[in-house]
């Protein structure tokens, strides 16, 4: 647990300093050092800023406010540029807009935005898109009076009369579930606090299943609730996950026949099922958990499809009868392939759609369930992203999928799997003078220092010359097997139109090139993630896309860890860095099981209670490896209510950097006191954060318009 510091003095020195051509500004805050000894494996670390862990203390709040004031002072000269960027980015958004409706259980469902409004309005129309609109939830009205407001898990009962939804007003991802009568428009008295926000409806239209989170924000219990009950005191515990490295969840099968109960860690999963017609029954385990065995299940007729890594690093597809679900009964449908990652499936009455990944790109494979004939969709671009969209209907030949590239706005298609006809339903409109023909995107393969080939996706405005003089921004993540696929951003046009080259580095730690790509960038191979990013950055310089005086790097969360590690390893390679909600105090956080999400992360980073992992983590942990050297210009952001990476990690890191670094480059720390890990809520508020980050880079380049 976090120890108390009885006496704490926060020293804030006020003075003047000339910063990159700006007029004199307030000197950055200087945080008091209160040495705190941390001993593990006969290794002693002294953490002088450990006191910042004391959430809600006056001293901590004052320090964060002083940092915000300093950031505002340094960036004051860019306020007109920030506003211009914000208006420019906002101006590309069609304010009066709505999603493509999807049909489910007699209704067309969609969400829409009204002009000038921050939040969505959830709507439906009965049987026909020409029918009168029914507004289920107007989040703009619901959010009045709140600095932060998030609605998730909008879920209508089988008889179409009640909608359930989760609300978070703090940005800690602790949701209260509410129920609304869609016939009367009134909220029911029933509500459930401290949940993940989602529910699964039983077929009786009264019973729901939901997941509770513990003090560490880990979903660990699944309860059964009746919407006729006002509170949750009488709810029955259906499932409890006692292993702190596992997280529980619940959902309803697409067939509507089963409630599915799941629990998973990084390396293992376990599923159970219960008839949705018998909510008082006992869930039956499909396959008991085994260390290293991952699987997921999809119901189809009298069997389950099973995606598993059983003897298959890149996963394979199996099937098993509903009555005999243990792995000894699994029969192979699609074998393992060393060059293709099987990511997911979508089941229809007559078709099976396979979501695959090959050579760093997504593929959609269509299989006829009767004839077993198959084909792949052709997307027609060198660099793109495609994925299965919302497909609640079972008996239909139409596949709803989404598509984008770095030059193509988000597009929604219906694809007739029987005839091959493809219909573009909607492409996100970019308001103003935009044409994809003005931009060019490329895929390069960068040779890493160990010989591995790393894919990078590049986009720029046509006419850019590879003369080494272009500003460039390289983005990376590289953790949890999360693939950073190329995508379109209308906000990004503000950089591209000012001559920037934008790059996504598909580094190890993601799954762009399969499961091995992930495993080669985690645990005791984590350093590959950082050196891959450096090698990709060096490629941009060597290929004359840019030079170190015009190259910027950006990453958030685990990508913020990437920024911190790279800043320590190759600070000379970048003009500036933007580290968003960065995970930078790796060792201390992974040793503190009271911090949310820690125990579930051992399979990703390792358990520092093991001496080998402790020393390896310490070797790259950005906070522990801060040294007396020059660092790039840096902007560090966080949310005070962040549940994923606690605010004090970047706060401590910035304080240590200020005290240790040997340069006069700008170091800014910006805390959103109303937000969490995802930043501000609302579609326009978040754009101000983007404008601020862009202004930071342009300011350093001397670009004022």
- Catalytic residue selected from 520, 624, 642, 672: 642
Q: Cβ(229)–Cβ(170) under 8 Å?
A: no
Is 435 annotated as catalytic? no
Cα separation, 483 vs 30, whole angstroms: 38
Q: How far from chain centre, in Å, is Cα 273?
A: 28
| Calpha distance 690→680 (Å, rounded) | 11
Q: Which of 479, 557, 621, 643 is catalytic?
A: 557
Rounded Cα gap, residues 489 and 338, in angstroms: 33
User: What strands lie across the sheet with 422-427, from one edge to the other?
Assistant: 385-388, 398-404, 411-416, 422-427
Kindly state the tokens that stand for 400. Answer: 């709803």
Do 153 and 175 touch, CB atoms closer than 8 A? yes
Q: Determine which one of 225, 506, 641, 677 is catalytic.
A: 677
**CA-CA distance, 529 to 532, in Å (whole number)?**
5
Q: SS3 for 24?
A: coil
Residue 40: other Cβ atoms inside 10 A: 16
Concerning whether 642 is annotated as a catalytic residue, the answer is yes
d(CA 554, CA 693): 10
**How far, rounded to the nearest angstrom, does the alpha carbon of residue 298 sit from its chain's CA centroid?**
24
Residue 139 CA: distances (Å) to CA of 99, 152, 162, 166, 370:
15, 11, 17, 12, 44
| 385-388/398-404 β-pairing | antiparallel
Cα separation, 513 vs 531, whole angstroms? 17
Specify whether 497 is catalytic. Answer: no
- Give 581-595 as a DSSP string: S----HHHHHH-TTS
Q: How far apart are CA 223 and CA 220, in angstroms?
A: 10
The H helix count followed by the E strand count for the chain is 12, 38
Number of neighbouring beta carbons within 10 Å of residue 97: 16
How far apart are the C-alpha atoms of 697 and 114, rounded to whole Å? 32
Give Cα 413 to chain centroid, integer Å: 24
Q: Which residue has the tokens 């990084």?
A: 266
Contact between 232 and 201 under an 8 Å Cβ cutoff? The reply is no
Following CA atoms 38, 44, 45, 47 in sequence, which dihedral angle do they give, to the nearest 10 degrees?
Answer: 50
Catalytic residues: 557, 642, 677
């Amino acid at each position: 647990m976090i120890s108390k510091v009885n006496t704490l003095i926060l020293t804030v020195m006020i003075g003047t300093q000339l910063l990159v051509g700006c007029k004199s500004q307030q000197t950055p805050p200087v945080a008091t050092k209160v040495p705190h000894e941390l001993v593990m494996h006969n290794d002693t670390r002294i953490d002088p800023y450990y006191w910042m862990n004391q959430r809600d203390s006056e001293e901590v709040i004052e320090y964060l406010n002083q940092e915000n004031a300093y950031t505002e002072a340094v960036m004051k000269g860019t306020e007109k540029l920030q506003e211009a960027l914000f208006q420019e980015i906002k101006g590309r958004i069609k304010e009066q807009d709505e999603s493509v409706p999807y049909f489910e259980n007699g209704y067309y469902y969609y969400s829409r935005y009204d002009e000038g409004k921050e939040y969505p309005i959830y709507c439906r129309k009965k049987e026909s898109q020409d029918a009168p609109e029914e507004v289920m939830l107007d989040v703009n009205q619901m959010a009045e009076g709140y600095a932060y407001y998030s609605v998730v898990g909008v879920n209508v009962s089988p008889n179409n009369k009640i909608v359930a939804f989760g609300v978070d007003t703090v940005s800690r991802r602790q949701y209260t579930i509410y129920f609304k009568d869609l016939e009367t428009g009134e909220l029911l008295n029933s509500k459930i606090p401290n949940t993940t926000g989602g529910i699964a409806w039983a077929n009786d239209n009264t019973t729901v299943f939901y997941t509770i989170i513990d003090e560490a924000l880990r979903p660990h219990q699944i309860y059964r609730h009746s919407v006729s009950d006002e509170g949750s005191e009488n709810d029955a515990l259906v499932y409890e996950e006692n292993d702190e490295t596992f997280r529980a969840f619940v959902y309803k099968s697409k067939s509507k026949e089963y409630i599915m109960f799941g629990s998973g860690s990084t390396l293992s999963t376990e599923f159970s099922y219960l008839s949705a017609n018998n909510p008082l029954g006992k869930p039956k385990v499909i396959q008991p958990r085994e260390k290293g065995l991952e699987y997921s299940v999809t119901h189809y007729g009298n069997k389950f499809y099973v995606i598993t890594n059983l003897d298959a690093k890149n996963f394979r597809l199996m099937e098993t009868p509903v009555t005999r679900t243990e792995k000894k009964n699994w029969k192979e449908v699609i074998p393992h392939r060393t060059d293709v990652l099987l990511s997911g499936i979508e089941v229809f009455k007559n078709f099976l759609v396979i979501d695959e990944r090959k050579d760093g790109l997504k593929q959609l494979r269509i299989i006829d369930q009767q004839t077993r004939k198959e084909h792949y969709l052709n997307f027609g671009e060198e660099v793109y992203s495609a994925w299965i969209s919302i497909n609640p209907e079972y008996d239909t030949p139409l596949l709803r999928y989404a598509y984008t590239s770095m030059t193509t706005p988000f597009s929604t298609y219906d694809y007739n799997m029987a005839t091959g006809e493809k219909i573009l339903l909607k492409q996100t409109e970019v308001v103003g003078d935009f044409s994809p023909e003005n931009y060019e995107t490329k895929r390069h393969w960068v040779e890493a220092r160990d010989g591995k080939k790393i894919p990078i996706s590049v986009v720029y405005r046509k006419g850019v010359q590879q003369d080494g003089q272009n500003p460039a921004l390289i983005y990376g993540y590289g953790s949890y097997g999360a693939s950073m696929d190329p995508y379109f951003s209308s906000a990004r046009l503000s950089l591209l139109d000012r001559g920037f080259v934008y790059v996504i580095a598909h580094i190890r730690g993601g799954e762009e090139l399969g499961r091995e790509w992930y495993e080669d960038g985690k645990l005791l191979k984590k350093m590959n993630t950082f050196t891959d990013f450096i090698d990709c950055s060096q490629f941009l310089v060597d290929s004359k896309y840019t030079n170190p005086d015009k190259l910027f790097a950006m990453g958030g969360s685990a990508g913020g860890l990437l920024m911190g590690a790279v800043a320590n390893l190759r600070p000379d390679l970048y003009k500036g860095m933007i580290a968003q909600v960065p995970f930078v105090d790796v060792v201390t956080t992974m040793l503190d099981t009271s911090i949310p999400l820690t125990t579930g992360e051992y399979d990703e980073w390792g358990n520092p209670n093991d001496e080998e992992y402790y020393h390896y983590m310490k070797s790259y942990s950005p906070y522990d490896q801060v040294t007396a050297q020059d660092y790039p210009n840096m902007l560090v952001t966080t949310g005070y209510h962040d549940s994923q990476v606690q605010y004090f990690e970047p706060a401590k890191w910035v304080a240590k950097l200020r005290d240790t670094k040997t340069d006069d480059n700008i170091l800014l720390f910006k805390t959103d006191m109303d937000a969490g890990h995802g930043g501000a809520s609302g579609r326009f508020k978040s754009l101000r954060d983007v404008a601020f980050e862009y202004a930071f880079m342009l300011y350093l380049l001397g670009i004022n318009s």
